Amino acid sequence: MADAHQKNHDYHIVDPSPWPVIGAIGALTMALGGIGYMRYLNNDVFPLLGVNLANPWLFYIGLVIVLYTMYAWWSDTIKEAYAGDHTRVVSLHLRYGMIMFIASEVMFFVAWFWAFFDASLFAGEAQQYMRAEYTGGQWPPKGLEVLDPLHLPLYNTVILLLSGTTVTWAHHSLLHGDRKGLVWGLVLTVALGVLFSSVQAYEYAHAPFAFKESIYGATFFMATGFHGFHVLIGTIFLTVCLFRALKGHFTPEQHFGFEAAAWYWHFVDVVWLFLFFCVYVWASWGAPIAHL
């Protein structure tokens, strides 16, 4: 009778999990809380079922639920991998899932680039819908000082390219069974990710334009800001991989968790190159430079 229930396939049937339901509750709470937060900031009300939800707390409660769900769910996935449940078939499908996720992220950034190029290439047409001082019919907007692309942006470009090299070193070290190279490669990659975020924070703090002053500032901060957020997520991703590497979770034969993090980091690198050449270099051509 026991043999009848024995697993004879390469698929992993997951155990019943509470995290999809809890995650959905957290996401709904965070969405309603986000609306209430914005109403609160505008001194407005958000009545729902007789309760005024215009306050900042509901959003943060939902955020905590979502973050804990992510931590717990991914912890379960790591435990499954460590237990040997990620067979070749399961690992292949995980790779398909990661590829689809990165493809969705590409389309996410396409939206920001679309907004940027629509405003920059058709600055004259944009005049019909915006105040005259926003663009002056040119790009960058008339009288606006921009960041020097050959200063901090170039420095950050070098940092990210170096981080792509170090994460590749870590990957090759893993494939060749060099645990020391894997750990040091991840340490350097995480350090470079933190350095990139620190430089970008300094750049934002000293930028000569603000988010709401012009469409240039809006498109600049939305595109580069979301990229910076992805760098932060990637840094956390690689930090988790570093701790797992120290515990000996990865082997040359099975290391999808690290591979997914490396793919994500290379994606972040490529997006930054487009941002650097389009938003920083091309879009600032001929404009007055603000020297930080």
CATH topology of domain 86-290: Four Helix Bundle (Hemerythrin (Met), subunit A) (1.20.120)
Q: Provide the pLDDT for residue 266.
A: 96
Whether 189 and 222 have beta carbons less than 8 Å apart is answered as no
**Residue spans of the chain under pLDDT 50:** 1-2, 4, 131-133
Report the run of H or E that residue 52 belongs to, with start and end.
strand 51-52
Length of the chain in terms of residues written: 292
* CB of 199 closer than 8 Å to CB of 156: yes
| pLDDT value of position 132 | 44
Which pLDDT belongs to residue 82?
A: 77
- From-to residues of CATH 1.10.287.70 in the chain: 1-85
Domain with CATH 1.20.120.80 in the chain: 86-290
Q: Measured between alpha carbons, how far is 186 from 193 in angstroms, rounded to an integer? A: 10
CATH level 3 topology of 1-85: Helix Hairpins (1.10.287)
